[in-house]
Amino acid sequence: MTQPRVLIVEDDPELRRVLQRGLAEEGFAPEAVATGAELLARVDSASPDLLVVDIGLPDADGRDLCQALRARGIQAPVLFLTARDALPDRLSGFDAGGDDYVTKPFAFTEVVARLHALARRAGADGAIDAAGLRLDPIAHAVSSGASSTPLTPTEFRLLARLLARPGETVRRRDLVRAGWPHGAIVHENTLDAYAARLRRKLRALDHAPTITTVHGVGYRLR
């Protein structure tokens, strides 16, 4: 995670600006939205490594949003922003699958420190199990049963994106966004070459699903 992608949802425009600008200066790749609806619309293509979620949003409760994200298979750690006097909120935030919180008003350095800690923790036990495969972010490997094969970081991110929705077609542009840094120029045949390599690696594993090409649309794992 050289430049962790952070998706921020915060309805206060000033606070949103401060977070976005500050996190960019701290080496994160932030994107910010103002409502829960925008977050749900953006989260798949943004494929964030970390989320910053305000609990008090105009159209949703941040904890409900977090539950919705988990139900969609999004496992990125969540840092909740919550009111200082809202201790019950903090606790139910954790129940919703969130990972940490800061209380408003917060020191920006605290947000940065917590995000770094969450990023490290996600790397420590963030293995993904889906479709009979296990993606190990420490070993950067994929395994099926007793067989295992190493992956490059880009292969890892592409496979993680496919594994988030096994059986569903993932669009080419969503795979490019997941696999490469924001703004990178990725040629059509580069994605195809990566998919072909991933397909060969999965074929070498015992009982692994296969990567299917959906022509003109994307790829599917099944």
Token pair in block for residue 131: 């479709």
Least separation in angstroms between CB 12 and Ca ion: 6
Alpha-helix residue ranges (DSSP H) falling in the chain:
13-25, 36-46, 62-71, 87-95, 108-125, 153-164, 172-179, 188-203
Least separation in angstroms between CB 71 and Ca ion: 23
Pairing of strands 78-83, 50-54: parallel
Binding window for Ca ion (CB under 5 A); candidates: 48-56, 60-68, 116-124, 151-159: 48-56
Is 38 a binding residue for Ca ion by CB under 5 A? The answer is no
The alpha carbon of 67 is separated from its chain's Cα centroid by a whole number of angstroms, namely 14
Write each residue from 55 to 84 as x if it is in contact with Ca ion (CB under 5 A), else as -, in one continuous string. Answer: -x----------------------------
Least separation in angstroms between CB 13 and Ca ion: 11
One residue of 44, 54, 99, 174 binding Ca ion per CB under 5 A: 54
Site for Ca ion in 149-208 (CB under 5 A): none
Residue with Cβ nearer Ca ion (44 or 54): 54
Residue with Cβ nearer Ca ion (11 or 136): 11
Cα separation, 10 vs 172, whole angstroms: 29
Binding window for Ca ion (CB under 5 A); candidates: 21-29, 49-57, 65-73, 186-194: 49-57
Least separation in angstroms between CB 181 and Ca ion: 30
Give 182's contacts (C-beta < 8 A, 6+ positions apart): 5, 29
Q: Name the residue number minimizing CB distance to Ca ion.
A: 56
Cα separation, 186 vs 107, whole angstroms: 38
Cα separation, 180 vs 169, whole angstroms: 19
Q: Residue numbers of the site for Ca ion (CB under 5 A)?
A: 11, 54, 56
